[in-house]
Amino acid sequence: MAKNPFMSAYLSAANRVANTARGKATNEVKRAAKREQTSMMNAWTDMMTGGATRRRRKRR
């Protein structure tokens, strides 16, 4: 079977788009999981220790 350069270019572009979308989705899932894990750890820590009396503001 002869090679088709147009099909090759089309598939390369399609793979690039699919891989970019997959990477962005994966990163978003990882960020959400880390955010939820931090939230749950703070909730458990506050429950066990009675919670913080006052949250301090971060300095910049």
Averaged over 23-49, what is the pLDDT? 95
pTM for the model stands at 0.60
Higher-pLDDT residue of 13, 3:
13
User: Which residues have CB under 8 Å from 46's CB, separation 6+?
Assistant: 52
Q: What is the per-residue pLDDT for 31?
A: 97
Q: Say how many domains are in the chain.
A: 1
Domain interval for residue 36: 5-59
Q: How confident is the model at residue 53 (pLDDT cuts 50, 70, 90)?
A: low
Query: What SS3 class is residue 1?
Result: coil
Q: What is the per-residue pLDDT for 59?
A: 81
Averaged over 27-31, what is the pLDDT? 98
